[in-house]
Every structure is written in structure tokens, then in C-alpha cells.
Structure 1
Amino acid sequence: MKPGILVTGVVLSAALLAAPTTPMAAAPADEVTIHEIANVLERPEYASQLEGVTFYFGDAPHPRVARRIEADATTSQRSRRFGRSAEESCQWVMLSALIRLKNQTLANGGNAVINVRSNWDNVEWSSRTQYKCSAGFLMAGVALKGDMVSLR
């Protein structure tokens, strides 16, 4: 073996051993942002998909509960982010989460979900007008928690 090749091999080996052990540059962390619920509920193509169940966000007042079906029902949905704006992705995945709660509520004889709050990474956050969405380069996600009920 030629001495130049041996030296090059030793130098490259030493450089690789000294390099940080993290794989490639880390992708930026998903950003958790706050969005307006009205922007989802006011879209006609979305609103029609939620008919049959009324959602009460945060501590919004609601009619008297006739029957509590399930307290703290949860859903966590993900949707494609790639090729969409963060806002569009978050609206779409929020709709998906609400549809999931709607279908569970209807299947159990309910007509409303009260006390709906964001629950991203199992950290509850409550608002009457806003929700949290996590959006990264490829995916967006919304997690919700609420009480499925039948209202009078």
C-alpha cells in the first residue's frame, strides 16, 4: 500500500471519529401554532360535514346536559402538510378531528360535544375561539378532548 493512501485513510478515519454523532442536520421541530376555530366552522364545505352535532369550545355556555356519554373523549388526527400552507393544513386536520368526535358522539346517541379543548402532547389548552395545531414540513396535527353528551 502506498504511504499517501495510508495517511489519507488515517486522516479520514480520525475525521469521522471526531464528527458529531447526530445524523444529518436535524429537521426543524414542528411548530405549535394557534388558529381561529371560526375559520374552520364558517367554511361551507366543512360546516356541512359537521351537521348533527354541536360543538361548544372551552367554557362556552350550553344547554343543560340530559346525559353524559363520555367525559374527556379524545381524538388525535394527522394530515399531509407538504404542498399546503400551514393554515390550510391546520384547518383540514381540525375538521378531521371534529368529524371523528362527531361520529363517535352520534354513534353513542349524543348530539353535542362540550368543553372541547386542544390536547396536543397531552397538554390541555382551552379557548372558546381558538385551537392549537402542530405543523411541520410534512405533517400537521390536531388533538382534541371534549365531553360527548346529549343536551336537552
Structure 2
Amino acid sequence: MKPWMRFSLMAGALLAGTGAQAADQLLNQPIDKALASAEARSRVDPSIRLLFGFNRLPDAQGGQSYKTVKRIRRPVDNSSATGGAPPPGDEELCATTFVQAVQELQQRAMKEGGNAVVDIRSNWKNDETASDSTYVCAKGAAYIGVALKGVVVRTGS
């Protein structure tokens, strides 16, 4: 095979590979707003403490790290055709997905005998982001996703 043809094939393969992977749009969303939602009030257990960012508890014992990834399929907008309500927006879908991920971390804490999850960070595609005020929500073409990583601990209080 001629060198220029080999180069053309390799360049085409590289370009096709990068084009096939549509990048997620990463949205920073407020933690407080998501945890204040009606869904969070019904799903998040107030007896399991949550500390976001690099926040830890001084009297914490143990410390097992867990990761959870939640995705919600983006609804198709056919509201104009059917006369129904439009689907929820990105912010609402992000909050719902975030609450589900938090709930899963809390369930893991209960299963492991912990009463707190500390050091909670966003961890979308293994890219960690630590914040005590925002979380990362990934907006893809067909889904909304949230990945959280936290440390389950037991405290005396």
C-alpha cells in the first residue's frame, strides 16, 4: 500500500472515531436547589448526613469510598403534536438524577452501617470535581447523567 494512501486511511479513521463520540455538555448545577426539591424531600433520608466537596467530619470512623452513576433518558418533545405538557427542562432532569444518585449513596451508607457520606464529589467519566455548592450534570444527546463519589463513614453523633 502506498504511504499516502495509508496516511489517508489512518487520518480518516481518527476523524471518524472522534466524530462518533459526541462530547457531553457538562452543566454545573446548585446542590441546594436540587436538595430543596419536592422529590428530594421525599427520597433523601435526613438521618444520613451529606457533606459535599472536601468536607469531612472530625469524629468520623471507617471510610469506604463508593461511586454511583445515574442516567435518565431525555424525553422526546412531542407536546406540540399531542397538545400535552412539554417535557421537563435540563435543570429539572439534572436535579432528579442528582437526587437519585444521592439516594443511592445513602442506601449504600445504611447497608454498610454508616450514618454519613462525606467528601462527595462529582465524578463524570472519572473526571473529579469537588464543590460544596455545585454538582456536575452531563447533558448528552439522549440522556442526562450524574456521577457522584463519596466516602461512607460512621460518626458518634
TM-score bucket of the superposed structures, by smaller chain? 0.7 to 0.9
Report the identity percentage.
32
Instruction: Give structure 2 stretches of 5+ with no counterpart.
Output: 1-11, 76-86
Deviations 1:28-72 (A, max 9, x none): 63211100000111124312311131110012353510x2141x2
Q: Does 1:55 align with 2:59?
A: no
Whole-angstrom CA distance in 1 between matches of 2:135 and 2:119: 12
TM, length-normalised to structure 1: 0.76
Q: Does 1:77 align with 2:46?
A: no
Larger radius of gyration: 1
Whole-angstrom CA distance in 1 between matches of 2:88 and 2:24: 15
- RMSD between superposed Cα atoms in Å: 2.1
Contact residue 39 and residue 99 of structure 2 kept, 8 A: no
- How far 1:94 moved relative to its partner? 0.4
Q: Which runs of 4+ in 1 moved over 6 A?
A: none
SS of the residue corresponding to residue 87 of structure 1 reads: helix
Residues 123, 86 of structure 1: alpha-carbon distance in 2 compared, 3 angstrom cutoff: same
Whole-angstrom CA distance in 2 between matches of 1:137 and 1:119: 19
Aligned to 2:96: 92
Contact residue 81 and residue 135 of structure 1 kept, 8 A: no
Aligned to 2:5: none
Determine which of 35, 41, 59 is the counterpart of 1:64.
59
Letter in 2 for 1:90: C
Contact residue 69 and residue 108 of structure 1 kept, 8 A: no
SS of the residue corresponding to residue 28 of structure 2 reads: strand
Deviations 1:84-125 (A, max 9, x none): 311011101101101111111101111100000000010111
Aligned to 1:9: none
Whole-angstrom CA distance in 1 between matches of 2:145 and 2:37: 19
Letter in 2 for 1:77: K
Aligned to 2:30: 36
Letter in 1 for 2:51: Y
SS of the residue corresponding to residue 149 of structure 2 reads: strand
Whole-angstrom CA distance in 2 between matches of 1:26 and 1:115: 34
Aligned to 1:4: none
Instruction: Give structure 1 stretches of 5+ with no counterpart.
Output: 1-19
Counterparts of 1:2-151 in structure 2, within 5 Å, are: 29-51=23-45, 52-65=47-60, 67-70=61-64, 72-82=65-75, 83-151=87-155
Letter in 2 for 1:135: K
TM, length-normalised to structure 2: 0.73
